[in-house]
Amino acid sequence: MNQQLSPWRLCVAPMMDWTDRHCRFFHRLLTRRARLYTEMVTTGALMHGDVARHLRFNAEEHPLALQLGGSEVADLAACARLAQQWGYDEVNLNIGCPSERVQRGAFGACLMAEPELVADGLKAMQDACSLPVTVKHRVGIDRGEDYGFVRDFVGTLAHRSACTVFIVHARNAWLQGLSPKENRELPPLRYEQVYRLKADFPALRFVINGGIGSDEQIAQHLEQVDGVMLGRHAYHEPFAMAGWDQRFFGDSADHLAGEPSGDPSGNSFADSFANSFPDSPANSGRALDRQTVEAQMVDYMQSQREQGTPWSHVSRHMLGLYNGLPGARRWRQVWSDHRLKNEAPAAVMALAQRAMQQPPAAQPMQWAAAPPVASAVSGVSAEPAAPSTLSPTSDLNPPLSLEVLS
């Protein structure tokens, strides 16, 4: 495959409350090549808030872009400098968010009506750092469907700021009467306008976004534009990303993210759990990769737990990992059970893997502790301690009677 593929060939969209550093660590286990984006961070939060809380990330997350929201030129420049100082690979300006709160701050999609101001902000960001400075925007605002509007918007930004990468959500942003969720679903998709932008500005890079939900759709769009950005599909069906590096970047199967580490000691979570649960649906075909990813996430959760972060803040992002496999619902129920919040992540994984093996009609399900498992990353061992017995509750279907060993 062509080694000159665009760095933006596949991207995971910035999503508020979802693509935090824990989510991005998880996604990076599934794809090494896709470009990841932070949640939108406002310039005000960085100028007047806790910079480290907003900007810290895991080294494994590269390539990683910081998405900014704002309109004050000086603040955008200062935040672009911060992005470079903190080691990001790109800084992206959000001109696509339609929420009323963002509009009250005079940034987001409403700025599409002020292309000169946007261009000035992009130019200031470019002058302040050496990172690629990109923009994410819609194809229009409100009910206007004139292609000339977005064409002139792109032309102004390219001419006045020398911006060369445009990530285009192929819907209008309706600035009144819709919630942000409705704005992601109700305005009609107009992919052809993004294709026309690429035809009219062949020297620029265009990444298409909006409503894309399969590898087949990705492949179709890549015939027309330089890259594809996915959001909700990547989040809710994360294992779809496990095939991206091979199919869309030409990586060999030996170098795919999510593959077993080949630890000769046999002490990795993947090896230990594969031995403990040989009949699990997770151990069939490529599904073993999911178990490896889960084990790597357990390592990560344990390390975060030792730093004071509850593991549930991390595990919520991986609940779609086994979607489509037998027992996936029971697996999710275990990881979502608030009664287990004080247990070690390795013990919760043991329960979740055992839950996947139970026949759907089995009720109640009784669990004994899994054997101690050494962490491949952190070296933490989930040693048994005093058991705590949890009785069945109506929110679990089938109800679980769990004997949990931390």
pLDDT one-digit tens code per residue, 337-355: 999 999 999 999 999 999 9
> Which residues, at least 6 apart from 327, have a Cβ–Cβ distance to it below 8 Å?
280, 281, 355, 356, 357, 358
- Residue 241: pLDDT over 70: yes
Quickly name the fold that domain 10-255 has.
TIM Barrel (3.20.20)
Among 101, 92, 96, smallest CA distance to 140 is for 96
pLDDT in tens, 108-147: 778 999 999 999 999 999 999 999 999 999 999 888 889 9
Amino acid 261: pLDDT: 35
Q: Provide the pLDDT for residue 41.
A: 97
Q: What is the pLDDT of residue 142?
A: 85
Give the model's pLDDT for residue 186: 80
User: Does 97 qualify as catalytic in the annotation?
Assistant: yes
Please list the residue range(s) of the chain that carry CATH number 3.20.20.70: 10-255
In the DSSP assignment, the letter for residue 283 is G
Average pLDDT over residues 272-290: 53
Note the pLDDT tens digit of each residue in 351-369: 999 999 887 765 555 444 4
Confidence grade of residue 102 (pLDDT, cut at 50, 70, 90): low
Beta bridge partners of 135: 93, 166
H helix intervals, 277-393:
287-306, 312-315, 328-336, 345-357
* Mean pLDDT in residue range 287-297: 85
Active-site residue among 11, 23, 79, 97? 97
| pLDDT at 76 (0 to 100) | 97
